[in-house]
Amino acid sequence: MPVWSDDQKRRFGPWAVVTGASDGIGRAIATELAHAGVNVVIVARRRAALEQLAGSLAAETGAAVRVMASDLSQPGAAAALESATTDLDVGLLVAAAGFGTSGPMLGLPVERELEMIDVNCRALTELAALYGRRLSARGRGGIVLMSSLLAFQGVAGAATYSATKAFVQTFAEGLRGELKPFGVEVLSAAPGPVRTGFAERADLRMSLADTPGAVARDILAALGRRGTVRPGPVSKLFAAALATAPRWLRVLILSRVMAGMTGHQGAAAPKAA
């Protein structure tokens, strides 16, 4: 578990808000933060999972843990979350809530694709704006936004998902330049395959993937030091392999990788409107 220095706790504590905290990377980051002595607000849709995590973290670490059950795909949810934390000295926002779909876009329910855009892009932007203002006024703090290995090129079989992550990556890069003069660090985290509930929800089968704990530790280690991090050994391996490839080749390679993870789904015929 990371042991943050007094300076890191001053900059990014005493409270952190972590969305998507019931599972996967969000849960791992909340756990790492609590073990580092940072109090956490854990946010997700499933209250029961959050309550279980809150109980275990409080018992293990002594950190204060506040539970917020929220569906960030719903209008007003981000503003309600920020309003519910105005009594806390929040120094860090980790926007880890998000989900993906897989398969040919024309064979997927368009409502699901739009919900993904709402969570991955709209809610993330609103949270960054609301907490960004608070952190800027505070004069210090950090924002972690979840990009992806797929953010750097389009990927067949994950067309909408890769586009949402391209938005997050570009947004984080621009926001970092705007907020840094106010003492606020913005970090884009671009993991590759990770063994979480995300893969099950997206109907993906992965033979090679990082663990949420390894990804979380790399993200927190990079906060305040870098603008983009490729967390986890598998992500770093993919990044190194693709580093010199032109964009069209990255599109081809990762589309074939995605085809390998979705081959069990079978061919999906486009659905008529």
Q: Which residues are catalytic?
A: 161
CB atoms within 10 A of CB 253: 16
35 and 220 Cβ atoms separated by less than 8 Å: no
Distance CA 200, CA 207 (A): 13
Residue 72, amino acid: L
Helix (H) or strand (E) holding 92: strand 90-95
Radius of gyration of the chain (CA): 18
Q: For the purposes of burial, counting CB atoms within 10 Å of the CB of 127, is it exposed (0-12), middle (13-18) or buried (19 or more)?
A: buried
Distance CA 18, CA 44 (A): 9
Distance CA 8, CA 28 (A): 19
